[in-house]
Amino acid sequence: MRILSLVLLAALMSSCVVIRQDEVAIKRRFGKLVGKPVSEGARFFNPFFATYLRVPVRNINLEISLDIPSQEGLTIRSEVSILYRLDPNKVPQILREVGKNFEENLISPVFRSALADVSARFLAKDMHTIKRAAIEEEVKVQMMNIVKDKGFIIESVLMKRIVLPPSLSRAIEEKLSAEQDAQRMEFVLQREKQEAERKRIEAAGISESQKLLSEGLTKDVLKFRAIEAYRELSQSPNSKVIITSGGQVPFLLDQK
């Protein structure tokens, strides 16, 4: 009796499948898919005649490392992530036409072909610039044109790592270094030009000031200033001797 109970319990457990929140499942009876995909929860079935095939419908990250060609014929080592998901309503079609190994049978081959086709139209150096985003978008569009009707949705293609040939890497580094040196020299020249302009303006201001001063010092003004200077000297209580060129006569009011 105990053995029979254990057998019945094992049969009951083997006839139940639990579908998680990120999955859908479809029943297969006598090798044929029947019914529509079902979502999360527990489902019971006759283990002798049927089973449930579970398929993930969450976003899947497929990482692939491969060598890709460039426009100039170089071989570039790359590491790429493909984010994709399955259309839940097309799971029966996917299982019939592609099978459960859809990554090996469809996604990976389509991606490799699309990336090789797109990368061959770009220079190797473009894969290290903002053109990388254009490459990713073109690969995504090309893949979607093939896999969309089969029940797959490509969310994004991300080129995580690009390894250029050593000679090309050195050439790019030297070019960037030369561009930085040129920018630095341009900054120095601009600064020197600004300093030269400042000095020119300063010199022009001094020259204009001296010109105005010299124009204001007429003979009458100079004579008047000399008279005032002699007058101040004459009012001093100290003994003094004033020597002039004779052109202007001092007025000495007192002499001690």
List beta partners, residue 42: 18
Which letter, b or e, does each residue of 148-168 get, where b requires 16 or more Cβ atoms within 10 Å of its Cβ?
Answer: eebbbebeebbbeebebeeeb
Determine contact, residues 144/154, Cβ cutoff 8 Å.
yes
Task: Lay out the sheet containing 50-56: strands in order across.
Answer: 32-38, 23-29, 50-56
Centroid of chain to Cα 197? 38
Q: Per residue in 59-102, pLDDT tens?
A: 999 999 999 898 888 888 889 999 999 999 999 999 989 988 99
Count of other CB atoms within 10 angstroms of residue 25 = 22
Whole-angstrom distance, CA of residue 235 vs CA of residue 243: 17
- Distances in whole angstroms, Cα of residue 67 to Cα of each of 64, 76, 87, 129, 161: 10, 5, 30, 19, 12
The residue assigned the tokens 């083997």 is: 14
Locate 93 and state its tokens: 């079609």
Residues 6+ apart with CB under 8 A from 160: 63, 79, 80, 81
> Which pLDDT does position 234 carry in this prediction?
64
Q: Per residue in 170-189, pLDDT tens?
A: 665 666 666 776 777 787 77
- Greatest mean pLDDT among 75-79, 114-118, 208-212, 222-226 lies in 114-118
Closest by CA position to 244, among listed 230, 228, 225, 224:
230
Q: Per residue in 35-51, pLDDT tens?
A: 888 887 777 767 777 78
Q: How confident is the model at residue 251 (pLDDT cuts 50, 70, 90)?
A: very low
Tell me the pLDDT of the chain averaged across its residues.
78
Specify the higher pLDDT residue, 215 or 120: 120
Q: Whole-prediction pTM value?
A: 0.60
Residues 6+ apart with CB under 8 A from 221: none
Locate 203 and state its tokens: 């010199």
Q: Per residue in 131-155, pLDDT tens?
A: 889 999 999 999 999 999 999 999 9
Q: How confident is the model at residue 118 (pLDDT cuts 50, 70, 90)?
A: very high
Specify the higher pLDDT residue, 7 or 108: 108
Q: What is the DSSP letter of 120?
A: T
